[in-house]
Homo-oligomer: A and B are copies of this chain.
Amino acid sequence: MKDKRVYIQEVATRDGFQNEAQFVDTDAKIALVDRLSACGYAKIEVTSFTSPKAIPALRDAEAVMHGIKRHEGVTYTVLVPNIRGAERALSCGVDEVNLVMSVSESHNRTNLRMSREQSFSQLRDVIGVVKQTKVAINVSLSTAMGCPMEGDIDQTEVLRWMERFAAEGVHGVTLCDTTGMAFPSQVCALCSDALAQFPELELTLHFHNTRGMALANTLAALGAGIDRFDASLGGLGGCPYAPGATGNVCTEELVHMLELDGYDTEVNLAELLSASGSLPRLIGHDVPSQLLKAGRRSDLHTMPCLSNDGLPEQRAFATGV
């Protein structure tokens, strides 16, 4: 595994900010994306070209896309739900559009207000438009590892939707654990089959830490051969089904673990932590990131003052184990 390249894709300014009650100023969004652009990401999902009425937090999508400075080597992607969104995104010169539908019929109807077949038909139209350009197309399949209403999602259903989109010529597919229902053995099985069946697709895993399993699932995905992950700075990104629970897998915690395990993410963890530390001021509350509180494994502490016998003057810590 040593030095195996793993690609990190940041989603905080999209999946994170869309869930925030407090509007993040356009200038602050641009400054954050610019800061993240220097961190070594493979891809940044900058914003979402959804209806400003549906997601007012991202009503400034055009301004943000026009305001950011593009870095070479970073793919700038945006969420696009329909033709209108695609046209808006293309007018901003995005590198990639990220389409979205749910593998679960119930979730698709709840989240997108249409059946899966309606979604597919609409997204096929979007693909038709975008394919006339050089812009890459990714499809994010929500609830691919569990639906909060339907429960288990049959793996063959996931592979079937991947197949339909692969047939339309998309560049990549993201398997999304939208509400943190994935578990390691499931992830391993799904990823193995998906990689075997669609070797030509750029495959991304998108985990939420709703039930604490995001990094364990990452480990399972890595074991199956996955090398590309979405993550959210500070662990931003709530889940409407679990108020107060943590959001997307936290980028700095993901990178921290991957680097310790010998993977090469090309992400600058120190810069990431510094950027994460700026989030509470932007959104008005603390972020779920544990690493931000605890510091990196390599951030060592000094011993308390020692007395002459080489022992601490005071019992500093009470028999921690």
Residues of A within 8 A of B (CB): 1, 15, 18, 48, 50, 54-55, 79, 81, 100, 106, 109-115, 140, 142, 146, 148-151, 174, 176, 178-181, 183-186, 206, 209-213, 215-216, 218-220, 239-246, 250, 253, 256-257, 260-262, 290-291, 293-298, 300-304, 306, 310-312, 315-321
Chain B CB count within 10 A is highest, among A142, A294, A320, for A320
A60 to chain B, nearest CB (A): 15
How far, in angstroms, from A183 to B261 measured CA to CA in the complex? Answer: 7
4 additional contacts (CB under 8 A) given A109-B312, A150-B300:
A18-B319, A151-B298, A211-B256, A212-B290
A151/B183 contact (C-beta < 8 A), A316-B240, A319-B18 known = no
Contact residues in B for A209 (Cβ distance below 8 Å): 212, 290
Contact residues in B for A257 (Cβ distance below 8 Å): 183-184, 211-213, 216
Q: Are A211 and B110 in contact (CB under 8 A)?
A: no
Q: Are B294 and A211 in contact (CB under 8 A)?
A: yes
Q: Are B211 and A290 in contact (CB under 8 A)?
A: yes
- Closest B residue by C-beta to A206: B321
Contact residues in B for A261 (Cβ distance below 8 Å): 183-185
Q: Are A183 and B321 in contact (CB under 8 A)?
A: no
Q: Which of B1, B109, B206, B297 contacts A211 (CB 8 A)?
A: B297
Q: Which of B174, B290, B306, B318 contacts A18 (CB 8 A)?
A: B318
Q: Are A317 and B110 in contact (CB under 8 A)?
A: yes
How far, in angstroms, from A113 to B79 measured CA to CA in the complex? Answer: 56
Q: Are A113 and B311 in contact (CB under 8 A)?
A: yes
Q: Are A100 and B321 in contact (CB under 8 A)?
A: yes
A88 to chain B, nearest CB (A): 14
How far, in angstroms, from A111 to B315 measured CA to CA in the complex? Answer: 7
How far, in angstroms, from A30 to B112 measured CA to CA in the complex? Answer: 50
Contact residues in B for A1 (Cβ distance below 8 Å): 185
- Closest B residue by C-beta to A318: B55
Contact residues in B for A297 (Cβ distance below 8 Å): 146, 151, 181, 183, 211
